[in-house]
């Protein structure tokens, strides 16, 4: 089988790319190692930047997003047992974010791909990518018990941190930058109304906490925990009590979360990771295959979407004109935005979390930084502009 673009990975990046290519008249095949049920239930991000929302609407995947997504105009920071709201529209030229779970984005894109797009093969295990430096690279995979080969004009690796696409870039030509953080997140889903209309990020001497949501009746909450924590160690009551303690306010001592049955518990390690370059020959990397951010800045899904939006433009330009200049500059174009998002995610993570060996001096520096956000228009605008999303690059110098 041959296709113009072979896409490894049927998560949001791979599916959005396939949809964008379809609307541009470019054929593709998507290979996903997991089954459809797993992909549609995989819990990940829930905050969409405006550029991500715009791309989903433009490719026909915006109907349910517009009907069910929750538009947010800000976040609340809690620190030193006080609260401060960061208003996005007034600080970031009217930009907002939308809460719409990755599970729902994926469901929408899968439905469109199966109804209108090219082949989407679930349980297709990719073993290797060969010929990256030729004009016809190949993807070797197993599907329905048979070894198969897909040849392509271009291969795009959207197969995540543990995928095989990154190995197509020779080890001696790629550089890895990484930071592993000394804490993790214990994340829960609960059948309980959200604690507030917007997300609450809390810094406390007990550790970080985040109150988010998936819908008006389902809360998504996180606690900072030591690396290696077993979720089974945390009873439901212990989780709720610890969340209340970390969100505590002197001005409102009676404030409590709305409790309900906890339906899911998981522990998420925290790391920052970038692989350079994001391309080699006819193989291009996007999303988690090229970079990982800690979730504190809500950048993971949005960075992946930005990658494939830039890549779809480059592939469309090549398909229409034969020119490869945008494809050749793809890695450099995306990496400028990637590193800004890495920096913002690092800032949010290290400012809000309490490290195991943290000194009182370092804690006071964190509170001072948060207080500056609360009292300085410029500091608040910097946070708001990065959180709602920096402009998408449009070309080699964009």
C-alpha angle 212-339-155 in degrees, rounded to nearest 5: 95
Write down the catalytic residue from 137, 194, 294, 295. Answer: 295
Give 188's contacts (C-beta < 8 A, 6+ positions apart): 220, 221, 222, 239, 262, 264, 265
> What three-state secondary structure class fits 164?
coil
Length of the chain counted residue by residue: 398
DSSP state string for 271-323: EEEEEE-SEETTEEE-GGGTEE--GGGS-HHHHHHHHHHHHHHHHHHHHHH--
Give 234's contacts (C-beta < 8 A, 6+ positions apart): 186, 225, 265
> How far is it between the farthest Cα atoms of the chain?
66
Write down the catalytic residue from 100, 222, 330, 387. Answer: 387
Give 214's contacts (C-beta < 8 A, 6+ positions apart): 46, 99, 101, 189, 220
Write down the catalytic residue from 100, 183, 201, 222. Answer: 201
Q: Within a 10 A sphere around the Cβ of 179, how many other Cβ atoms? A: 15
Write down the catalytic residue from 22, 72, 203, 291. Answer: 72
Active site residue 100: no
> What three-state secondary structure class fits 354?
coil
Where do we find the tokens 């709602």? Answer: 388
Q: Distance between CA 13 and CA 191 in Å, rounded?
A: 29
Active site residue 177: no
**β-strand 175-190 against 262-276: which pairing, if any?**
antiparallel
Active site residue 201: yes
Give 123's contacts (C-beta < 8 A, 6+ positions apart): 32, 33, 34, 35, 143, 144
Q: Please list the active-site residues.
A: 72, 201, 295, 299, 387
């Amino acid at each position: 089988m041959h296709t113009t673009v072979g896409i490894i990975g049927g998560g949001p990046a791979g599916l959005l790319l396939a949809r964008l290519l379809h609307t541009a008249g470019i054929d593709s095949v998507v290979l996903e190692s997991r089954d459809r049920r797993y992909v549609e239930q995989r819990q990940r991000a829930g905050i969409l930047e405006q550029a991500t929302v715009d791309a989903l609407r433009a490719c026909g995947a915006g109907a349910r997003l517009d009907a069910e997504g929750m538009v947010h105009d800000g976040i609340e920071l809690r620190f030193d047992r006080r609260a401060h709201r960061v208003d996005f529209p007034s600080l970031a030229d009217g930009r907002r974010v939308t809460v719409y779970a990755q599970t729902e984005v994926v469901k929408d894109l899968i439905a469109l791909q199966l109804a209108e797009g090219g082949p989407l093969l679930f349980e297709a295990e990719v073993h290797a990518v060969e010929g990256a430096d030729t004009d016809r690279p190949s993807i070797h995979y197993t599907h329905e018990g048979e070894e198969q080969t897909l040849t392509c004009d271009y291969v795009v690796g959207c197969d995540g941190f543990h995928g095989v696409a990154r190995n197509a870039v020779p080890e001696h030509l790629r550089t890895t930058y990484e930071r592993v953080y000394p804490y993790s997140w214990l994340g829960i889903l609960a059948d309980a109304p959200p604690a507030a209309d917007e997300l609450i990020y809390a810094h406390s001497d007990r550790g970080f906490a985040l109150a988010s949501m998936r819908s008006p009746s389902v809360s998504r909450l996180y606690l900072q925990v030591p690396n290696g924590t077993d979720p089974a160690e945390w009873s439901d009551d212990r989780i709720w009590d610890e969340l209340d303690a970390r969100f505590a306010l002197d001005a409102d001592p009676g404030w409590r979360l709305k409790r309900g049955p906890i339906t899911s518990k998981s522990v998420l390690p925290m790391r920052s990771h970038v692989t350079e370059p994001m391309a080699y020959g006819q193989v291009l990397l996007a999303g988690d295959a090229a970079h990982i951010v800690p979730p504190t800045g809500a950048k993971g899904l949005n960075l992946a979407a930005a990658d494939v939006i830039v890549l779809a433009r480059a592939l469309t330009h090549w398909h229409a004109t034969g020119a490869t200049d945008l494809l050749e500059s793809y890695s450099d174009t995306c990496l400028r935005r990637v590193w800004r998002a890495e920096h913002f995610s690092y800032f949010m993570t290290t400012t809000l979390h309490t490290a195991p060996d943290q000194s009182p001096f370092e804690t006071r520096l964190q509170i001072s930084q948060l207080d500056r956000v609360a009292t300085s228009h410029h500091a608040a605008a910097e946070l708001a502009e990065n959180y709602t999303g920096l402009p998408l690059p449009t070309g080699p110098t964009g």
